[in-house]
Structure 1
């Protein structure tokens, strides 16, 4: 069972910030062999929340929750990851459930849009997300936009 925290940028300790950036780079840049601008100026914006899932003191699950108008017209969830040590344990489902619950708390009854890796469309579909675009390449990886209507 993971321990969860959902914090603003200002609430993160330097150690937490280091660990979450390290996890994002390890998954998205190293594992997926996808160099891209990881620090995109969204982490520090007003209203952004960082959802951290801890196991034995290490971040093993993470998602960034963004207010409307920052990435999409609606609320958005991005930078969704589970580390290799956590995959296959069902924690990805728990991560999305937690992310959706926090979005409902911070932005009640608002739609949520995501840019999902195309191969995960079925996973997000289990939570009610439906495709709103055709496949497009983002940093060389097939993606699809999806929306959860509330």
Structure 2
């Protein structure tokens, strides 16, 4: 498996296409959430990718600077393909993103809008619930936060 983190400006046209396709396959088709995915935040984001030896995109998330979605740094659009779910790669992906925020941006906290049914997944890497459930794009979500200074 190969991991990479690239700013949008560093992505190739093919990478952008593959990211948008994977996000559409999961968020629109699988989850039947018929809402616009492209929100202009991608242009300033860093994009973490997990690819297999053949170069197929198997996991993805985006990292947003503070002030873009929340006053803190943020992680969003987290995807692991169905074949890799419950294998630990999702947690590894989040840990890499958390490390990037802590080292590259020297961030002290990360806020996410997590699908409510995935709360325990995010809790395993240290996120805590900080809001009541709310509906976003037709799916129940919950805001969660990770204090990086609390990480050991």
TM-score by length of 1: 0.94
How many residues are paired up?
147
Displaced runs of 4+ in structure 1, greater than 2 A? Answer: none
Matches within 5 A, 1:17-28: 17-28=16-27
Q: Point out where structure 2 has 5 or more consecutive residues left out of the alignment.
A: none
Aligned counterpart, 1:52 = 49
Cα RMSD of the aligned pairs, angstroms, is: 1.0
Q: Point out where structure 1 has 5 or more consecutive residues left out of the alignment.
A: none
Q: Which moved further from structure 2: 122-131 or 11-20?
A: 122-131
2:42 is paired with a residue whose SS is coil
Higher helix share: 2
Q: Separation in 2 of the partners of 1:61 and 1:32?
A: 16
Matches within 5 A, 1:61-140: 61-140=59-138
1:39 is paired with a residue whose SS is coil
Q: 1:144 to 1:3 in 2, by over 3 A?
A: same
Q: Separation in 2 of the partners of 1:121 and 1:141?
A: 13
Q: Separation in 1 of the partners of 2:73 and 2:57?
A: 24
2:145 is paired with a residue whose SS is strand
Residue 129 of structure 2 contacts residue 145 of structure 2 at CA under 8 Å; is this kept in 1?
Answer: yes
TM-score by length of 2: 0.93
